[in-house]
């Protein structure tokens, strides 16, 4: 029944007496031919925004009650070190901007609020307005400056946090809670970070109008810890490689080029970096395999000591954080495999990126990664170094097996896009806008 109603509304038709969604979802499913500042109608004359009329009645199937929905995005992520959270926020913002440019959501007004001094060039925003407010930085900017910029229908926070003032004033605040790893894997995080996010987490779950998370697995985790928040939680799975991803790089044909294993992610305990390094050291000694680790330490994480034995120091390379999409794509494309034995994830980006660029994936046998990777990854016990090595060697020695995993991954990765995540989030915002 649910899917039938979805199809019915995507065609712009409805029965006023039938059970139905409170708004038309056509802009989520197809672009408009023309963007304007007014309500746009489809071929049946039904507006794409058909929100409640001024008298408070539910919208009819006719053309009335059209309004502009104003969304403000908390741009604090632009001033933070890039991890998966900030990467998602950037990709989401760009994808929303491109959808607006293509004619989706003609009655949607979006503004990105940022602190002074942030670099916006990489986003190349074409429709979303950018406004710099205040002179403060970091937490102070988010908690003391951002809440006083009012007037939007929604404040959309993409990075786990939100202004407490806005939450406790009862404003329409939506927050993307990527994961609760600070609760379930506390040893990886500094005490100050854990305490701050415990306070913010309780406030968000109690006061936010909408909580978005990035996987069904994480929704189950959040619901278990915050059962009263269950009805306000929605899922919007992350994309993978950028929607404007670089052309598939040509695989190196240099006979002198050595094969290598690849890790992409934070250098943290939660990511199981100690096991990654043990596997890299053993494969360097036993198979003369090079290994590249892409990522950096984060100030919110407890420091981890990573010592590389001198006899393999030339085989193991710490590449640091790589911001260039072209460079990262080339690393994936030429790697023999991506090793991703993380202990806790919600909707990891590297496995889908690797699949997009035809790199086989070895991943932890945990629920979130099974949801994320389906049958397109080889799963391992994240604590079993010998098992992980055996899988890696199989990929190195059996081109047919490696090719099969590449083909599976290439097909699986097509399921994920940042535009798809934007549509999922917009569906929830629009639905709750009509209910306010």
CB atoms within 10 A of CB 216: 14
Residues 78 and 34 in one domain: no
Residues 82 and 46 in one domain: no
Domain that holds residue 18: 1-67
54 falls within a domain: yes
96 falls within a domain: yes
- Taking the C-alpha atoms of residue 182 and residue 180, their distance in angstroms, rounded to an integer, is 5
Asked if 179 contacts 345 with a C-beta cutoff of 8 angstroms, the reply is yes
Residues 110 and 176 in one domain: yes
pLDDT value of position 296: 86
pLDDT value of position 299: 65
Dihedral sign computed on CA atoms, order 165, 166, 170, 174: negative
Which residue has 């046998």 as its token pair?
365
pLDDT value of position 245: 61
245 falls within a domain: no
- What CATH number did the domain enclosing 113 receive? 3.40.50.2000
Residue 44 is given by DSSP the state T
pLDDT value of position 301: 63
Each residue of 408-435: pLDDT tens digit? 999 999 999 999 999 999 999 999 887 6
Residues 96 and 148 in one domain: yes
- Taking the C-alpha atoms of residue 174 and residue 317, their distance in angstroms, rounded to an integer, is 40
**Token pair of 428, please?**
């929830």
Q: Give helix 385-397 / helix 399-413 axis angle, nearest 10°.
A: 100
- Taking the C-alpha atoms of residue 406 and residue 378, their distance in angstroms, rounded to an integer, is 11
- Taking the C-alpha atoms of residue 174 and residue 163, their distance in angstroms, rounded to an integer, is 11
Residues 389 and 266 in one domain: yes
Residues 57 and 76 in one domain: no
- Taking the C-alpha atoms of residue 32 and residue 40, their distance in angstroms, rounded to an integer, is 8
Exposed e or buried b per residue across 172-187, where buried means at least 16 C-beta atoms within 10 angstroms of its C-beta = bbbbbbbbbbbeebee
CB atoms within 10 A of CB 228: 9
Secondary structure of residue 411 in the 3-state scheme: helix
Number of domains in the chain: 3
251 falls within a domain: no
Q: Which residues of the chain have pLDDT under 70?
A: 1-67, 245-247, 249-250, 252-257, 299-303, 435-436
């Amino acid at each position: 029944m649910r899917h039938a109603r979805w199809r019915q509304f995507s065609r712009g038709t409805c029965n006023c007496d039938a059970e139905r969604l409170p708004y038309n979802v056509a802009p989520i499913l197809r672009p408009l031919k023309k963007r304007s500042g007014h309500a746009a109608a489809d071929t049946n004359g039904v507006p794409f925004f058909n929100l409640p009329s001024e008298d408070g009645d539910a919208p009819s199937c006719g053309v009335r009650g059209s309004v502009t929905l104003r969304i403000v995005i908390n741009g604090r992520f632009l001033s933070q070190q890039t991890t998966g959270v900030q990467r998602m926020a950037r990709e989401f913002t760009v994808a929303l901007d491109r959808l607006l440019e293509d004619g989706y959501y003609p009655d949607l007004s979006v503004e990105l609020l940022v602190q002074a001094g942030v670099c916006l060039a990489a986003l190349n925003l074409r429709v979303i307005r950018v406004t710099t407010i205040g002179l403060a930085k970091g937490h102070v900017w988010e908690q003391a400056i951002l809440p006083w910029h009012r007037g939007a229908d929604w404040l959309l926070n993409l990075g786990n946090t939100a202004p407490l003032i806005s939450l406790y004033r009862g404003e329409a605040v939506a927050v993307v809670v990527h994961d609760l790893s600070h609760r379930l894997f506390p040893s990886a995080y500094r005490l100050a970070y854990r305490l701050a996010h415990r306070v913010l987490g309780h406030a968000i779950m109690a006061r936010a109008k909408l909580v978005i998370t990035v996987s069904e697995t994480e929704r189950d985790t959040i619901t278990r810890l915050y059962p009263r928040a269950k009805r306000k939680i929605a899922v919007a799975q992350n994309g993978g490689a950028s929607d404007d991803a670089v052309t598939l790089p040509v695989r190196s044909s240099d006979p002198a080029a050595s094969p290598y294993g690849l890790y992409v992610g934070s250098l943290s305990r939660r990511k199981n970096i100690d096991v990654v390094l043990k596997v890299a050291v053993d494969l360097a000694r036993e198979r003369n395999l090079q290994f590249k680790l892409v990522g950096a330490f984060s100030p919110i994480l407890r420091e981890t000591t990573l010592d590389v034995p001198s006899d393999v120091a030339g085989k193991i390379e710490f590449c640091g954080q790589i911001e260039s999409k072209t460079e990262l794509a080339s690393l994936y494309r030429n790697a023999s495999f991506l090793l991703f034995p993380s202990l806790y994830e919600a909707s990891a980006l590297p496995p889908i990126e690797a699949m997009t660029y035809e790199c086989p994936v070895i991943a932890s046998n945990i629920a979130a990664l099974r949801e994320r990777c389906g049958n397109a990854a080889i799963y391992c016990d994240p604590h079993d170094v010998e098992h992980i090595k055996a899988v890696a060697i199989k990929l190195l020695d059996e081109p047919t097996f490696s090719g099969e995993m590449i083909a599976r991954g290439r097909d699986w990765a097509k399921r994920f896009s940042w535009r798809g995540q934007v549509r999922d989030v917009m569906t929830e915002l629009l639905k709750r806008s009509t209910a306010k």
